[in-house]
Chain A
Amino acid sequence: MTATMQPAITNSLTQGQLHARTPWVTLGLGLTAAAGIVALITSATGSEFSLVGAIALGALFYLVAIVVISRLVEGQRKATDRFVTALVSGAFLIAMAPLVSLLFTVVVNGSARFDVEFFSSSMRNVVGEGGGAAHAIVGTLLMTGTAAIISIPIGLFTAIYLVEYGRGPLARAITFFVDVMTGIPSIVAGLFAFALFAIFFGPGVRMGFAGAIALAVLMIPVVVRSCEEMLRVVPNELREASFALGVPKWLTILNVVLPTSAAGIATGIMLAIARVIGETAPLLIVAGFTASMNYNLFADRMQSLPVFVFTSYANQGVDTQAYLDRAWAGALTLILIVMVLNLAARLIARAFAPKLGR
């Protein structure tokens, strides 16, 4: 609209309202003023220009200005509304700050050692520079894979029980305890695996399989929850049509219910894997840490990628920077794996979402 000249037509509905662009202009002015002030202070004290400080100050200016302007033009109630709108949008931006900062830091610091050697060599006989996380990546794949092999059947069949068979107190108990299990701290799962294996192998037990058990304890409830949700989405008409054709219940589940929800189940499983692949604490306890490659799940310590990141940071050798670089490169690898799993899961879910008749 080019109604900036003179209000030729007075619309009674928009009387006493701020123009739609006013908040944005106010925000721009506030930020500019704040940047100016911070720049002045900077030149006076000789310190570095603080972008965070400028944005925070600008947001404060905007908050005050918009409330005052709105109070004068629109009245108290609208002013409160604008105040809350600014706060709520600010909350979202504040939450974005750590995410952006974290991703930025990991990419910048991690790219230093994100090279071929990092993925092709282990830490055996490496004291300073060089070395890599091949042993940790293999360990992570082995343990997470074993955990998935254990927890996917249990989780999927439990979901089938809850949706297709479960009635009465047992189903209610399982639902409740699956929820409770979701909240088990990961370190407690690690202690459980340790307590279990210490009975058979003595108090100093460290092995990859125990780590897989700990991960499975954490993974099962996530698989159950997501599979259950997906199975419930399958329309009942499909089941009834199958029963009407005389198909037994188990074949109905196998040939009708599961294929319909396959994409959703795949998504849920991938998200569950993404959740446990970054677990550090349980593996630190039961799988231990080592510098060497270990392909055997049932003997000796086994390194994993998150534990590699932790130990590289915690036990820095003489050449501190080399250890830190490896830690950050490991963190970058880990984040990439998790993000790819997450994105792939979302894409699968979106591409193969069950077509409901609506």
Chain B
Amino acid sequence: MTATDPKVRTVAPQGKPKQRLGDIVFSRTSLISGSAILAILAAVAIFLVGQSVPAFVADPEEFIGSPASFWDYVWPLVFGTLWSASLALLMALPLAVGIALFISHYAPRRLAQLLGYIVDLLAAVPSVVFGLWGIGVLAPAVLPAYTWLTENLGWIPLFAPPVSGTGRTILTASIVLGVMILPVMTAICREIFIQTPVLHEEAALALGATRWEMITMAVLPFGRPGIISGAMLGLGRALGETMAVAMVLSATGIITINLVSSANPSTIAANIALSFPEAYGVNVNLLIATGLILFLITLVVNSIARYIVNRRKDFSGAN
């Protein structure tokens, strides 16, 4: 904004113009509010670090389950977090790009906004409801498919038998995560697809391209940063998502890439939510330390996403 600065008034011919009290109070208040956000973020980091320190120096024998060391406790959780989030991203990204294309370039203009709202409704569903749905509906529904996979494709390590009896495996949790991160990824992809220069699209169509050829030539190259940053933001959401995973996944805390067995790695966030209410002593610090690690992972992922978004200032759909 290039709002005219009131200081430029030429009423007072000499010296600096008088500062009004209201102006000073108002600008100070907004400056303080802005700085407060930086302070809060710093406080989050400082308090998490402060409360984690006891866990780093404590004797691992005091931890619940007595792991050999702090990292022995953390590593399966980190693996589970990254594994489930990447699976969710793998499933959700093609869908999100497809939905965004459908809304921006395939659906009738009139319907497009309504369809966008409907996808946004998915974002409005609280995660605890997704958890209930994952246990009550999704897990029983996918169980036959898992059984089939173990019987016919059991030689692939991903689907090695025995199959889980409840369907509450890491793959089910990842499907729920994928559904949960769809709206945010779709919103960002849609936002940037819509901003493809119309002249590029019309030029491609005028040269005789089909709609798909127009999309590959004009829309996707233009929208690539949007897709990448959308994927990163979705990954950030999936990494930090707590309740849906905590409820759906029946975790045993081991490291395995098996998708359909009843032994699954837990995730950092789910482990905190489930263990915190009963934690005592140094275990509280241990859980906070894992939270700090989660914070750092999501911070890196989100910063990369924001960096990519901010390189293109033209669009502002990053939310």
- Which residues of A are in contact with B by a Cβ distance under 8 Å? 77-78, 80-81, 84-85, 87-92, 94-96, 98-99, 101-102, 105-106, 109, 153-158, 160-166, 170-171, 173-174, 176-189, 191-192, 194-196, 198-199, 203, 217, 220-222, 224-226, 229, 232, 236, 239-240, 243, 246, 248-251, 253-254, 274, 277-281, 284-285, 288-289, 306, 309-310, 313-314, 327-328, 331, 334-335, 338-339, 342, 346
Contacts and interface: CB of A to CB of B under 8 A. Distances in A.
A194 B277 CA distance: 12
Nearest to A277: B126
Contacts of A161: 27, 30-31, 33-34
B34 A250 contact: no
Given A274-B124, A313-B247, 9 more contacts: A91-B98, A95-B119, A171-B34, A174-B37, A191-B48, A250-B20, A310-B247, A313-B135, A334-B128
Given A157-B29, A192-B48, A278 B128 contact: yes
8 contacts: A78-B210, A85-B212, A102-B129, A157-B33, A186-B240, A187-B269, A243-B4, A249-B26
B118 A106 contact: no
Contacts of B207: none
**Most A Cβ at <10 Å: residue of B26, B48, B269:** B26
A250 B276 contact: no
A335 B129 contact: yes
Q: What secondary structure prevails in chain B residues at the interface with A?
A: helix
Given A154-B37, A164-B1, A166-B34, A335 B125 contact: yes
Nearest to A244: B4
Interface string B126-161: 111111110111100000000000000000000000
Contacts of B240: 183-188
B115 to A, nearest CB: 7
Nearest to A99: B122
Interface string B254-272: 0000000000000001001
A241 to B, nearest CB: 10
A158 B44 contact: no
Interface stretch (B60-68, B70-78, B165-173, B293-301): B293-301
A45 B42 CA distance: 63
A278 B294 CA distance: 21
B16 to A, nearest CB: 15
A195 B50 contact: yes
Contacts of B210: 77-78, 80-81
A249 B3 CA distance: 10
B36 interface: yes
Interface string B275-304: 011000000100110010011001101110
A184 B298 contact: yes
B38 A160 contact: no
Nearest to B29: A157
A164 B29 CA distance: 12
B288 A191 contact: yes
Of the four ranges (under 10, 10 to 19, 20 to 34, 35 or more), the interface on chain B belongs to: 35 or more
Contact of B294 (A85, A163, A188): A188
A88 to B, nearest CB: 5
Interface of B: 1-4, 6, 9, 20, 22-23, 25-27, 29-38, 40-41, 43-44, 47-48, 50-51, 94-95, 98-99, 101-103, 106-107, 115, 117-122, 124-133, 135-138, 179, 182, 186, 210-213, 215, 233, 236-237, 239-243, 246-247, 269, 272-273, 276-277, 284, 287-288, 291, 294-295, 298-299, 301-303, 305-306, 309-310, 316, 318-319
A334 B272 contact: no
**Most A Cβ at <10 Å: residue of B29, B40, B316:** B40
Contacts of B43: 192, 196
Contact of A164 (B3, B38, B284): B3
A198 B30 contact: no
A49 B41 CA distance: 54
The 5 closest A-B CB pairs, nearest first, are: A185-B240, A278-B126, A91-B98, A157-B33, A183-B302
Contact of A184 (B29, B98, B288, B295): B295
Contacts of A279: 126
Contact of B47 (A183, A195, A232): A195
B122 A95 contact: yes
A324 B227 CA distance: 40
B34 A162 contact: yes
Contact of B37 (A91, A106, A181, A249): A181
A162 to B, nearest CB: 7
B289 to A, nearest CB: 10
A156 B32 CA distance: 12
A281 B131 CA distance: 12
A236 B1 CA distance: 7
